[in-house]
Structure 1
Amino acid sequence: MKTITIADVARHANVSKSTVSQFLNQRFDYMSEKTKRKIEATIQELNYQPNFVARSLKQKSTFTVGVVVANILHTFSTQVIRAIEDYFHEQGFHIIVCNADDEPAKEKKYIEMLRAKQVDGIIIFPTGENQALYEKMKQDRFPIVFMDRTIEDLEISTVMLDNHAAAKLAVDRFVEHGLDRIAIVTTSIIRNISPRVERIEGYKRAMENRGLPIREEYIKTADVGQISEVLSELYSLPEPPQAILAGNDIVLVEVLKFMKEKDIAIPGDTSVIGIDDVSFASFFTPPVTTIAQPAVEMAKQAGTILFKQIKNSEQAEQWMYRYEPTLISRHSG
């Protein structure tokens, strides 16, 4: 079968090749609706498949960006990925999503693969242990944006939550309900992953501001598989906590499972607040109070920064973009 070309489409639609090219690149500024419909109908009739390789060579762009997510199981991560895909779809770009599982070696492989595929830029939830690789991308002026986590010494454009404020919202809420034995549980901070560290810092600062003692036995960090174990330690204390701040959505699930297994009433025995709103929070029994991140807004900001870098190869003067959390008040805390 003969390969259908852009010239065939133009001839069949009775327009110029330039007009078809503008349509394919979604440049509709000076194109009538009638012309757009005619080209679209012709493409469908002829079953025309654009030659993306030729387009990439001509425009020196693959019209593709990579997203290297630390852990795709996080609700926040999936919300961000979806919003990034929506944003770049509007720009005529595709995205390639890679899940690093919080493993630096896996992250490194994915970044190297994406660069080998000549993607136009990458949004990364950094593990933090590939600093030389991040530095190389910055030196190469390769478009890169960090999401959710930062490495301050590099000053790479970063979009993330005000994690100190998130922890403060939870502590203040607990204190307003007359609770002072407040624990925080997060996933491991072995690699100093910034949101986890900052949420603990914010918790400590909020406790101090409320005149409450910081009890190290109430601060627990562990891999997901050990969360149940550290919760058992908390409830074996002479004075177990009256309230628990779950540092992210995965920890929240483990906390709720533990309390159900141990028949610990929420909020009667222990109040619970989780950072990251989750789909089940509103219909769980009781409905769970959460601290929400503006995931869509943050993702669009990251996409906008990366797209500007791709188009201009310029680094913005501002490199840190912090977003405010929101307390979603329900009945668990």
Structure 2
Amino acid sequence: MASVTMADVAKLAGVSKSTVSQFLNKRYHYMSEETKSRIEQAIHELGYSPNAVARSLRQKKTQTIGVIVANILHSFSTEVIRAIEDTCHAYDVHVIVCNADNDPQKEKKYVEMLRAKQVDGLIVFPTSDNKELFNGLVAAHFPLVFIDRLIHGVPVNAVLADNEEAMRLAVNALAESGRRRIGLVLPPLLEEITPRMERRDGFMKAISEAGLEYEEAYVAAGQVEEAPHFLADMLALPTPPDAVIAGNDLILYELLRSIKQQKIDVPEQIALIGIDDVTFADFFNPSITTVAQPTFAMGHKAAELLLQEINGGKKHSEIRTHRFQPTLKCRQSC
């Protein structure tokens, strides 16, 4: 059976091929409702399906973008991806999501694969080891936006939370509840992972601003699964902390698991605040105070920036880092 063409739809609807093309591309501001109805009915009767490959060749776009996420297990990442997908869906743009596991080689392979698939642009939670690759994309004027992390020397639009403010909110909330000895547990401190470094530095600054003493023994960074050991070491100190901040959602989960196993009294024995809001914060007993990043607003902004670039809207003078303000979700753990 011969495939149905746009000309067949135009003939049945009694309109020109260009009118059908404008309808398919949703350019029907000056099209009457009767004409739109006839085209819709003709498409339905004939079972017409537009040739996406042919359309992409005409438009020189595939209406597809790639998102390369550092670690899809983070609640932050999944919420940002959802916002990106929602925004792109509104513009009939498809999203391919790849999980790089914080592995530069995996990230590089995904960039190469997505470019081979001719995606129109990329949103990346970047590692630092592919600076040359990303600068090559910039030099080729390939649409690119970073989210959550920066690579210094790569001039692209980026979307990040104000990590310093996140720490200030957490430290001030604990200080206002009477806590004076505040600890911090973070994933490994790597220069290329922007939020971790900014949160460590923001913590030190917030402690000073609150008039508290910074105690090196109260700050620990390492693999996520080491978080319970860090907490145990802190609580074994002659003068243990009376509060601790979990540097991200995965650290918070490990600390809570240990707190439950060890039957540590929160907040009487130690107060607790997590950076990144999590779905279980309300259900844990006691409920967990968190500092929430505006994940949906950040994902929406990243998608909008990329779509603007794809449509020729980026100028070098407009490239900047867009910072979003976190909010404190007060609950019972501090």
TM bucket, shorter chain: over 0.9
SS at match of 2:96: strand
Query: Does the 8 Å contact 1:70/1:126 carry over to 2?
Result: yes
Query: Does the 8 Å contact 2:151/2:192 carry over to 1?
Result: no
SS at match of 1:179: coil
Aligned pair 1:284/2:289, yes or no? no
User: 1:261: Cα distance to partner?
Assistant: 0.7
Which residue of the partner structure matches residue 270 of structure 1? 270
Could you tell me the TM-score, scaled by structure 1's length?
0.95
User: Which amino acid counterpart does residue 22 of structure 2 have in structure 1?
Assistant: Q
- What do residues 75-134 of structure 1 show as CA deviations (whole Å, max 9, x unaligned)? 111111111111111112111100111111111110111111111100000112211111
CA separation in 1, counterparts of 2:40 and 2:240?
66
Which residue of the partner structure matches residue 302 of structure 1? 302
- What do residues 202-231 of structure 1 show as CA deviations (whole Å, max 9, x unaligned)? 100000111212112111111222222222
Which residue of the partner structure matches residue 249 of structure 2? 249
More off after superposition, 242-251 vs 19-28? 19-28
- What do residues 5-56 of structure 1 show as CA deviations (whole Å, max 9, x unaligned)? 1222222233322222222222232233444344334333322222111111
Which residue of the partner structure matches residue 181 of structure 2? 181
SS at match of 2:311: helix
User: Which amino acid counterpart does residue 43 of structure 2 have in structure 1?
Assistant: I
Query: Does the 8 Å contact 2:170/2:291 carry over to 1?
Result: yes
Query: Does the 8 Å contact 2:246/2:252 carry over to 1?
Result: yes
Which residue of the partner structure matches residue 202 of structure 1? 202
Which residue of the partner structure matches residue 15 of structure 1? 15
More off after superposition, 1-10 vs 268-277? 1-10
Write the mapping of 1:122-133 to structure 2, written as runs, cut at 5 A: 122-133=122-133
CA separation in 1, counterparts of 2:77 and 2:15?
44
Corresponding pairs, count:
333
User: 1:298: Cα distance to partner?
Assistant: 1.2
User: Which amino acid counterpart does residue 256 of structure 1 have in structure 2?
Assistant: L
Query: Does the 8 Å contact 2:191/2:197 carry over to 1?
Result: no
Which residue of the partner structure matches residue 328 of structure 2? 327
User: 1:313: Cα distance to partner?
Assistant: 5.9
**Structure 1: runs of 5 or more not aligned:** none
Change (3 A) 1:184 1:67: same
RMSD between aligned alpha carbons?
A: 1.5
More off after superposition, 201-210 vs 216-225? 216-225
Query: Does the 8 Å contact 2:188/2:223 carry over to 1?
Result: yes
Which residue of the partner structure matches residue 108 of structure 2? 108
Change (3 A) 1:178 1:18: same
CA separation in 2, counterparts of 1:126 and 1:288?
30
Which residue of the partner structure matches residue 78 of structure 1? 78
CA separation in 2, counterparts of 1:136 and 1:175?
47
CA separation in 2, counterparts of 1:12 and 1:195?
58
SS at match of 2:308: helix
Which residue of the partner structure matches residue 88 of structure 2? 88
More off after superposition, 293-302 vs 118-127? 293-302
User: Which amino acid counterpart does residue 319 of structure 1 have in structure 2?
Assistant: R
User: 1:169: Cα distance to partner?
Assistant: 0.2
Query: Does the 8 Å contact 1:64/1:94 carry over to 2?
Result: yes
Write the mapping of 1:62-73 to structure 2, written as runs, cut at 5 A: 62-73=62-73
User: Which amino acid counterpart does residue 190 of structure 1 have in structure 2?
Assistant: L
User: 1:191: Cα distance to partner?
Assistant: 4.7
CA separation in 1, counterparts of 2:217 and 2:100?
31
Which residue of the partner structure matches residue 98 of structure 2? 98
User: Which amino acid counterpart does residue 112 of structure 2 have in structure 1?
Assistant: E
CA separation in 1, counterparts of 2:196 and 2:33?
51
State, as a whole percentage, how many aligned pairs show the same letter. Answer: 49
Query: Does the 8 Å contact 1:141/1:313 carry over to 2?
Result: no
User: Which amino acid counterpart does residue 58 of structure 1 have in structure 2?
Assistant: R
CA separation in 2, counterparts of 1:42 and 1:227?
62
More off after superposition, 117-126 vs 3-12? 3-12
Aligned pair 1:50/2:54, yes or no? no
User: Which amino acid counterpart does residue 288 of structure 1 have in structure 2?
Assistant: I
SS at match of 1:211: coil
**Structure 2: runs of 5 or more not aligned:** none
Query: Does the 8 Å contact 1:70/1:102 carry over to 2?
Result: yes
